[in-house]
Amino acid sequence: MLWKILSGLSAVALGVGLWFSYQNQNALKEELAQKGRAEQNLKSVKQVQEKAVEVKDKKIKELADLTKQRDDTTEEVNKTNSTIEEKQKEVEAKQIELVEAQKQLTKMNQEILKAGDVKKLIAEVEDLTRQVKESEAAIANQEQQLAMTEEKLTGLSGHIVKLKEVDSRQRRGQVDPSFNARVAQPFPEFGFVVLNKGNLGGVFANAMLNVKRGKNIIARLRVRDVEQGMSVADLIPGSLANGESIRSGDLVVAAPVPQQPVEPAPATAPVVPADGMAAPAPGGTAPTGAPASGTSPPPSADPFAPPPADVTPKQPGAEDPFNK
């Protein structure tokens, strides 16, 4: 009788063991599946990181090219200013010649009334009249060239202002106030999100952005890496509203950024009156229309520098794949 009881207990224990074995096998399969998904996600994040590094290097090169273009334009403006000064000196000389010729013409007309050899005086008057017309034509030509040079200088000055504005916006990381984008994918465990717009959409490195849901701002972001069609932005610590979380499709808009003073546009050289009779004031010089040689815009932060160390909040046990 005892052996039957032991046999029954053994059968029950064997059944329980088989049941636990079956449950452990299912749990192991689920864990292996989760591991595979995690490895695939990590691979995708690494690919995004590599693309972000390539775009960063490209933006550094673009900034260097833009700076060189600005310097070349400034040099051309300085050369144009020198040309304007030379043209003004030529106009002044022609105006002096014209005044002298008019004085001689007036003197000759007075002598005609007293002279006996009228034909000779008439010939001299005609010669002086021809000289006056030539001087007037030369002055008109110089004024036309001066006007063309001033027009070119105005265009170059506007181009410099535009280049400085673009350079200043890139250094500050300030996007256009009308900018908007969407959250393509959030990574709350790493403290960053992926946006659906990049530099082609008006995003700059270190740009400050707001995540907006309805009429409320629920979080603030700082752009870390930018490429043509996407960008990566870090969540500013402490900016996420209580009880909220960033979701795919959330609206992202420009955050207010303190405005820096804008340098005034360069002045243009004064235009000489069309009649050519008025000369510039003695000792006056034409405005250069550009900043003095050797000046440079105020230093500012590197737009491609990595964000501060405390920008990305991490949960315990999580590691940001973009900082590997």
pLDDT at 75 over 60: yes
Q: Higher model confidence: residue 286 or residue 200?
A: 200
What value does the mean pLDDT take over residues 172-185?
87
What's the N-to-C CA distance of the chain in angstroms? 69
Confidence check: pLDDT of 3 > 80: no
Taking residues 274-294, report their average pLDDT.
42
Q: What tens digit of pLDDT does each residue of 112-152 get?
A: 777 666 677 788 888 889 999 998 998 998 899 899 888 88
Q: What is the DSSP letter of 180?
A: E
Q: What is the pLDDT of residue 240?
A: 94
Domain ranges across the chain: 54-172, 173-256
Q: Are 146 and 274 in contact (CB under 8 A)?
A: no
The residues pairing with 209 across neighbouring beta strands, listed in sequence order, are 221, 254
Mean pLDDT over residues 165-176, rounded?
Answer: 72
**54-172 CATH pick, 1.20.1630, 1.10.3470, 1.10.287, 1.10.3720:** 1.10.287
> What integer pLDDT is reported at residue 32 of this predicted model?
86
Report the distance separating Cα 319 and Cα 185, nearest Å: 17
pLDDT tens readout for residues 84-102: 999 999 999 999 999 999 8
Residue with the larger pLDDT of the pair 213 and 295: 213
Query: Is residue 173 within 8 Å of 205, Cβ to Cβ?
Result: yes
Residue 259 pLDDT: 54
The average pLDDT across 191-214 equals 92
pLDDT at residue 115, as a whole number = 64
What local confidence, expressed as pLDDT, does residue 2 receive?
76
Pairing of strands 216-226, 180-187: unpaired
- The more confidently predicted of residues 52 and 221 is 221
> Which of 277-290 are b and which e, b meaning 16 or more Cβ less than 10 Å from the residue's Cβ?
eeebeeeeebebbb
Identical topology for domains 54-172 and 173-256:
no
* pLDDT attached to residue 230: 95
Q: What is the pLDDT of residues 5-17, one digit of tens each?
A: 878 888 888 888 7
pLDDT at 315 > cutoff 80: no
Q: Which top CATH class is 173-256?
A: mainly beta
For the cut 90, the answer to whether the pLDDT of residue 192 exceeds it is yes
Which has the higher per-residue pLDDT, 288 or 83?
A: 83
152's tokens? 């070119």
**pLDDT for 245-276, tens place per residue?**
999 999 999 987 655 554 555 554 444 444 44
Judge contact between 71 and 295, C-beta under 8 A. no
Tokens of 112: 């005609």
